[in-house]
Structure 1
């Protein structure tokens, strides 16, 4: 396997790694600013949105994520595609990244063996050997993919022996993947990301990172640290430790973390890339993202929330606090967070304001909260379309603000806006 063409050029490393991931894709003409977020898709399309609707949004990343859990059951269809999945799905001007599991769906456990891992499609469980995994990659022809991995140690209280076995298996899978990759003409120019496992055991995390870094990989996927699987403070400690073993010039992609407060903490710990599934989860709950990330130059103005925000913030963080600090459990990814408003609530029935004042997305420019409430309670498909437009736009704009904050040394101010701390109290909606 030839040396990686993908390059991470860092411009600042104060409170986070600000940079650009360059020479992406087969042509090497695309790039992605970091800290960055990938575009979440189901089988190559963003849920609820057509390609035409999607391209009306600004701030969209150049990298789209597809998952084998969505794709593996369609192997017969893929075999007939001579030009790869990108052409089939219309993602011509996009870098395609293939992950093993869908980050928006809880992964079932108890099905890995020494030689196989399992993914779940609409038709049930699909068992993958390294040979089948690599055959799927040849059919997909992505621009980069994560290596096959045993990631079942994200559950709390996994034994040390099981965690050690997970790391060993994942390294063995990586070596097999790299060997088959080198022999494949179809994967010439495709990049491989090694997967760092280790559960919540510090020594195993460090060992996994150190050994993975010895392999010829283009970057690293940090697995098993998703929301609900590990205490946020412990996650930060683990990331800080394992990142010391990883080269500075290769990107680190954190899997299964999308909540804004957790994103901020992980960026400070040294993470470069995140999966973009959070807006989809919020949309499926019938909710709209409404947290603030304004870091305008005027400190007095920046510390003052608009009237609509203040009205929603009269109550201090109560139920929302328990959401943000939820006990660890596998359902936490599906729970409403303090960063969104539940538009199914009756109080929005006569609320004729946009979802977020000042938001320039199509939904906020043309429709009111009352209309979204009506669409949701009558189960209209348009509700999902409009919410996905807003939530996708809002979330990717947050990442733009995050990069600006790192550039201007305003990360602390951004954290106040997002978390609702200090005078601004910017967290605009609380869980009822």
Structure 2
């Protein structure tokens, strides 16, 4: 069996090029994980996701425990077999969705009791049950159960929330069943307060995890606050373990975070945007619903290998969107995931070749230029 490990291959300033080894394969970093909330990356076949270069996907404990149920997934061979994704899978702990989606919820020192947003049925999540659900799903990377501190929060609110998450992190570690190739990540909390982030990081390092995530960002604080929080948080995390920024983000967020030492990312943005006619390109976001595309024979983006760009024109993509044909969201989702994976491959090459700063500057300049004008 493969030992869960992180291999640091190159650095360029704080930016890192690495590789995470798991039971179901390796993940080259910096890496972006497409979100497969309910056992599927929406509008995509597993082989299509892999064709973009994605090596790992994210599943969701909250959604999968409610439907179809973690025990059922386990009986059917685990999430890899269930969704036909042979590569690594990371599952989040379910805490964020309990706070944001559950109809009614009551939190106490032990965990959270909530009602399903599907049918109102009553459920409970604790650090121990979250670890067991993620084990049943067979996640290569399990996330500690935590409370995602809302924004804005006072220092006192963020402190209370962070310390609860740290108590839950210790219980998560105690409940986690260690296996070769499987890892548990702790989650740094503390809002936008440097002293709380430092206290959280110290507590997690004392517990000891296979990787460390930065949580509680991309919740409305803005890019400047996010970057300043990373500036004080990332240096506190061990250099020989992977670092994961949860729920981020836009390409400029990812590039800035990579420059601050982050290795792994996830976000619903590329898939959700694809379903709403928004396409990510190197020259910014393009809305295919706009009439200016209706006579445009050019591809969405030159040199992009995805089928939306390789096989179709902007005019056709515009037609699909306006006609509400399901192929439109499918093609734009594929393009967006491809765009993100192309960005990550570019970042990995730039770090390995010592030109990260130039890569970041060129990416920012291209985005600033905006979309190509219609013919």
* C-alpha contact (below 8 Å) 2:19/2:28 kept by paired residues: yes
Shift of 1:401: 0.8
The CA distance in 2 between the partners of 1:200 and 1:242, in whole Å, is 10
Shift in alpha-carbon separation, 1:384–1:355, aligned structure 2, 3 A = same
**2:286 corresponds to which residue?**
341
**2:342 corresponds to which residue?**
397
Q: Which structure 2 residues correspond to residues 317-356 of structure 1 after superposition, within 5 A?
A: 339-356=284-301
**1:65 corresponds to which residue?**
58
- Select between 190-199 and 81-90 the one with higher mean Cα deviation: 81-90
Shift in alpha-carbon separation, 1:119–1:171, aligned structure 2, 3 A = farther
* C-alpha contact (below 8 Å) 2:11/2:352 kept by paired residues: no
Shift in alpha-carbon separation, 1:75–1:378, aligned structure 2, 3 A = closer
* C-alpha contact (below 8 Å) 1:39/1:275 kept by paired residues: yes
* C-alpha contact (below 8 Å) 1:21/1:33 kept by paired residues: yes
The CA distance in 2 between the partners of 1:215 and 1:54, in whole Å, is 35
Q: 1:382 aligns with which of 311, 324, 327?
A: 327
**1:237 corresponds to which residue?**
228
- Select between 103-112 and 343-352 the one with higher mean Cα deviation: 103-112
Q: 1:143 aligns with which of 140, 144, 149?
A: 140
* C-alpha contact (below 8 Å) 2:31/2:344 kept by paired residues: yes
Shift of 1:196: 0.6
The TM-score, its normalising length taken from structure 1, stands at 0.77
Shift in alpha-carbon separation, 1:413–1:111, aligned structure 2, 3 A = farther
Gaps of 5+ in 1: 293-338
Shift of 1:114: 2.3
Shift in alpha-carbon separation, 1:21–1:367, aligned structure 2, 3 A = same
Shift in alpha-carbon separation, 1:120–1:407, aligned structure 2, 3 A = farther
**2:190 corresponds to which residue?**
198
Q: Which structure 2 residues correspond to residues 269-308 of structure 1 after superposition, within 5 A?
A: 269-292=260-283
CA-atom RMSD, angstroms? 2.8
Shift of 1:254: 0.2
Q: Which structure 2 residues correspond to residues 53-132 of structure 1 after superposition, within 5 A?
A: 53-55=48-50, 57-60=51-54, 62-74=55-67, 76=69, 78-79=71-72, 81-82=74-75, 83-91=77-85, 93-101=86-94, 107=100, 112-117=107-112, 122-123=118-119, 127-132=124-129
Shift of 1:19: 2.7
Gaps of 5+ in 2: none
* C-alpha contact (below 8 Å) 1:103/1:256 kept by paired residues: no
Shift of 1:367: 0.6
The TM-score, its normalising length taken from structure 2, stands at 0.88
Q: Deviations over 1:274-320 (max 9, x none)?
A: 1143311221221111215xxxxxxxxxxxxxxxxxxxxxxxxxxxx
* C-alpha contact (below 8 Å) 2:17/2:352 kept by paired residues: no
